[in-house]
Amino acid sequence: MRRVSVPRSVVAGAVTSAAAVALALGSSAPATADPPPAATTEFQVPVRHIAGCIPGLFVCISVPPLTTVTPTATTGAPGEVTFAAKPPTRTWTGLSGCLEVTVHWLNLTTGSAGTTALRPVPYDYSRPYTPDDWCRYTPATAVTGSGTIAASADIGVAGPWEYRILVTPGVGIIPVP
């Protein structure tokens, strides 16, 4: 039995032609402009900080540890990003237990920029406290425009009897439709 070989270029040409015909014919279904599904991206670098109270009027029980807050960005509607944050790591519930997170964003495609604040959800004292209630953030939506968004996050300003030390700001790159 004699073996017949087909040159690779012939096979590649046939595959390319079939793909071109399939694209040209397309689907018989009408084209729709459905918005892309929402996608959530965690910041690649979370916010890390140390916060505590200054001894004096208040009694500080222990040295506060390093706390980590991971901001997220959810894209849904074209040109909009909803920033949120997961509850921080919690090992110390001192005076400054839940800090505001500030997100600064820059659209690298258009040059537009802005700032938004992620504020802690106020505690609901009308029902029993559960650990899941501790330090949740209110999401904030920003109209960034479509393109690649570079965002950084840090913590709010300290009050008169506390200190806040930003160890690393949060950083995230978000593609926005």
CATH number reported for the structural domain that contains residue 110 in this entry: 2.60.40
Compute φ and ψ for 115, nearest 5 degrees.
-135, 145
Q: Is residue 144 part of a domain?
A: yes
Q: Is residue 149 part of a domain?
A: yes
Q: Is residue 53 part of a domain?
A: yes
Compute the distance between CA of residue 173 and CA of residue 171 in angstroms, rounded to an integer: 7
List the one residue out of 177, 176, 170 whose CA is nearest residue 42: 170
pLDDT at 57: 55
Task: Kindly give, in sequence order, each residue whose CB lies less than 8 Å from that of residue 117, ignoring residues fewer than 6 positions away.
Answer: 100, 101, 102, 103, 140, 156
Q: Is residue 70 part of a domain?
A: yes
Q: Is residue 6 part of a domain?
A: no
Compute the distance between CA of residue 69 and CA of residue 109 in angstroms, rounded to an integer: 27
Burial class (CB in 10 A: 0-12, 13-18, 19+), 140: middle
Confidence of residue 133 (pLDDT cuts 50, 70, 90): confident
What is the extent of the structural domain holding 65? 33-176
Q: Is residue 4 part of a domain?
A: no
More confident residue, 49 or 159: 49
pLDDT at 21: 37
Q: Is residue 147 part of a domain?
A: yes
Compute the distance between CA of residue 73 and CA of residue 141 in angstroms, rounded to an integer: 9
Rg of the chain over all Cα atoms, to the nearest angstrom = 25
More confident residue, 37 or 41: 41
pLDDT at 53: 75
Q: Is residue 98 part of a domain?
A: yes
Confidence of residue 48 (pLDDT cuts 50, 70, 90): very high
More confident residue, 22 or 176: 176
pLDDT at 61: 63
Compute the distance between CA of residue 166 and CA of residue 136 in angstroms, rounded to an integer: 20
Domain count, the chain: 1
